[in-house]
Amino acid sequence: MRCGLLGQTLAHSHSPLLHSLLGDYAYTLFEKAPDQVEDFLKSGSWDGLNVTIPYKKTAYALCDSLSPIARETGNVNTLLRRRDGSIFGDNTDAFGFRYLLEKAGVPVAGKRALVLGAGGAGGTACAVLRQMGAAVTVLSRTEKPDDFYGKNNGILYSTFRHISQYKDAQIIVNATPVGMYPRVDEQPVDLSRFSRLEGVADVIYRPCPTRLLRAAAARGVPGAGGLWML
């Protein structure tokens, strides 16, 4: 088995260590530029891959078949090359994110959730939150993409400049890389804006906890970080 992690910047990754302890196969970090990804997925020497920032949607579009949850989230984080050479894509992040929410100890059903980030992690968070009964709004740093995963499933979309319209959010999920190592002193939003806040989830696992989660704890708001999702 030739396995590994596909991403753009991977120096922070703990995946090789984890796989060396849990598996009996080679596990390599594959740092690729955007213009290298398609050729690597189609012709590279690999049997199974994990996929991370910023290629979860790119990989999704290159899969020959997909799991149901991958179709719902619009991205993949796990790839398998089948015997016939075709690529199967799955999203195991969804299970991990649900577990993260459970560890946060915050009821989700009926809550207003604000997801920060419209990338792969954001798509996964939206799908899981909706499955658990939350009303979801996504905030992105850019204008709405044409292939936005929420266009047909009731998820609202806005940009960070309109954040004041969503100060009644009860759950905040950081699905951006803001606050990730090495820029550990950053946080994506000021939590003092949200007077009804009941819980915070951050998909970042390094550092643990992030500055956002420390800010939540200082306000007495429960939260959980990306280590549970990992």
Name the nearest CA neighbour of 226 among 169, 25, 210. 210
Cα–Cα distance list, 93 to 12, 19, 67, 90, 215 (Å): 18, 17, 12, 9, 25
56 has catalytic annotation: yes
- The active-site residue, picked from 56, 57, 103, 167, is 56
Show contacts of 40-47: CB within 8 Å, 24+ apart: 40/6, 41/6, 41/79, 41/87, 45/2, 46/2, 46/3, 46/4, 46/81, 47/1, 47/2, 47/3, 47/80, 47/81
- CA–CA separation, 128 and 175 (whole Å): 13
- Tokens linked to 50: 């994990």
For the annotated catalytic residues, the residue numbers are 56
